[in-house]
Structure 1
Amino acid sequence: MVRVTTTNRRTALRAGAAFATAGALAAGCATHGAVAHPAPVTRSSGSRAPTPRHYPAHPTQVTHGPRTRPHVALTFHGGGDPATARALLTEAERHNGRVTVLAVGTWLDEHPDLARRILDGGHDLGNHTLRHLDINAMSESEAREEITGCAQRLKRLTGSIGTWFRPSRAPRASSLVEQLAHSVGYPHVLSYDVDSLDFTSPGAAAITRKVLGEIRDGSVVSLHFGYADTVAALPAVLEELDRRGLRAVTTTELLS
């Protein structure tokens, strides 16, 4: 078990107080109404919009990276209060970390500027379906629409369909969803080997213990935007990663 220092606890309390509204807590996996035509994001010269890559050494469904390097990937399901998202990105950058954001399409409709914010920070941006429904339970046509709907929004906003696809409401894609993602242009489905369970709002200390108790070289961690507990836990997580010599990188860097 990792001890959270007094400084970390104060940081966590301040962050938790700033974001502990009922709306923010419920927003991480919520579905939002779509806006038909969001304004395109004008990307600055420093932003990147990479496309998906095939990694022959890794399976179609990626759960972790190489266990031989001190790199880990913190991956966030993109939804909820944009202020929470910005706070998490800023905290990662303060520790020289980079993350992977799997964005919900309707969330991008409501907050198109966040696509630029994510890319300009040097982070990965990917596809977490259009409406964040149970994609593995859908028909082929419905599932295809969920994947392509988000891909189209990413393409319109950034010029790319995003670097990764992660299924909604499931840690792994069904064989059908895997095939559909591949047909849209995603060679890999991004899963994870560490689940923070932050969407259950267990408290910042519980998230910190869960992540740091399981994370190791090459791990891919599942986290969420939109939850105050996650904001409160992140400083302690990042500080302990620094102490262990583990570097938080994008999933693209983790597998490269």
Structure 2
Amino acid sequence: MKSRCIKKIFMVSILLLIAIGVSLFANYRYEGAFARVNRKLPIYCVDTKDKKVAITFDVSLGGEYIDKILNALDKYNIKATFFVVGDWVDKNPDKLKEIYSKGHEIGNHSNRHPDMTKISRDKIIEDININEAKIRSITGSGTKLFRCPEGSYNDDVIDTVKKSGYYCIQWDVDSIDWKEQGADLEYNRVIKSTKPGSILLFHNSAKYTPLNLERVIVNLKEKGYKFVKVGDLIYKDNYKMDYDGKQMRN
């Protein structure tokens, strides 16, 4: 009799622990989902049925591959978006002027490439404005696109960028070309991940990028994709963001 009583108490205890565990897990998932929905995000990609994508380059180092990149884009009459760092602009004003003169879009990628989650709002604004002035002095035109250095951001960064009048642009297709792990690996990584509304990320200083850029363009064109600048891909108003950073029409 005593043994049965102990077993019942044991089973009730186990069931109670399971119930508590399920409740905690459900609450954790709910709170996690709520936090994700309410977190401020940059634009990773765009919700669209049209087979259009944007090719982007982060430009912070070197200039030896710029001509090959521009030649590949010219060959297929494609306009891309170049996010430039102010320090690079100082050393390569003629390259920036050439990129812009060919009809490509210029984005602001900060002046000194700091981790913006580790500096104050005032410093973020100062850094962005310095590079904005450099871009404008060379091209004669400003930009409304900004990409965080290293893709690093938090709510304060996104809020500051937005209040400064910029659309904060991330990416959903990363070539990871800066690691230079191999041309085929980088190429396949891009092709497998691209979908309508994607924003593709490359770097101007990666050695396999000029070759892969042309391969990617040919492959995606054969699949019916069109290439547009980021400014022509994103929605400028009446939009919302989902919890993964996809920009959607209201």
TM-score class normalised by the smaller sequence: 0.7 to 0.9
The equivalent of 1:176 in structure 2 is 156
The alignment status of 1:212 with 2:191, answered yes or no, reads yes
Structure 1 residue ranges (4+ consecutive) displaced by more than 3 angstroms after TM superposition: none
- What is the DSSP-based 3-state SS (H/G/I as helix, E as strand, rest coil) of the residue aligned with 1:160? coil
C-alpha deviation, 1:136, in angstroms: 1.7
Q: Any unmatched runs of 5+ in structure 1?
A: 1-58
1:146 aligns with 2:127: yes
- Of 90, 102, 114, the residue aligned with 1:121 is 102
In the alignment, the residues of structure 2 paired with residue 155 and residue 229 of structure 1 have an alpha-carbon distance, to the nearest angstrom, of 31
54, 68, 85: which one aligns with 1:104 = 85
What does 1:1-256 align with in structure 2 at a 5 Å threshold?
Answer: 61-170=42-151, 173-186=153-166, 188-255=167-234
Structure 1 position 83, deviation (Å)? 2.9
Structure 2 segments unaligned to the other structure (5+ residues):
1-39, 236-250
Pairwise CA distance, 1:200: 1.2
Deviation at 1:133, TM superposition (A): 2.2
Give the partner amino acid of 1:82.
Answer: G
What secondary structure is seen at the aligned counterpart in 2 of 1:209? helix
CA distance in 2, matches of 1:218, 1:210: 17
Q: Distance in 2 between matches of 1:88 and 1:215?
A: 20
Contact 1:135 1:146 in 2 (8 A): no
**Cα distance, 1:71 vs. partner?**
0.7
Give TM-score, length-normalised by structure 2.
0.73
Q: Deviations over 1:40-69 (max 9, x none)?
A: xxxxxxxxxxxxxxxxxxx97211124211
Encode CA deviations 1:2-23: one digit per residue, 9 max, x unaligned: xxxxxxxxxxxxxxxxxxxxxx
Q: What does the per-residue CA deviation read over 1:159-201, in whole Å, with 9 as the maximum and x for residues that have no partner?
A: 333231000012x532222222233321x10011111111111
**Equivalent pairs, count:** 196
Tell me how far apart the structure 2 counterparts of residues 90 and 79 of structure 1 sit (CA, whole Å): 20
Q: Answer whether contact 2:48 2:197 (CA < 8 A) is retained.
A: yes
Is the 2:54–2:80 contact (alpha carbons within 8 Å) kept by the matching residues of 1? yes
Shift of 1:89: 1.8
Deviation at 1:216, TM superposition (A): 1.0
- The residue matched to 1:101 in structure 2 has which SS? strand
Is residue 198–residue 207 contact of structure 1 (8 Å, CA) maintained in 2? yes
Structure-1-length-normalised TM-score: 0.71
**1:102 and 1:128 in contact (8 A); partners too:** yes
Identical columns (%): 26
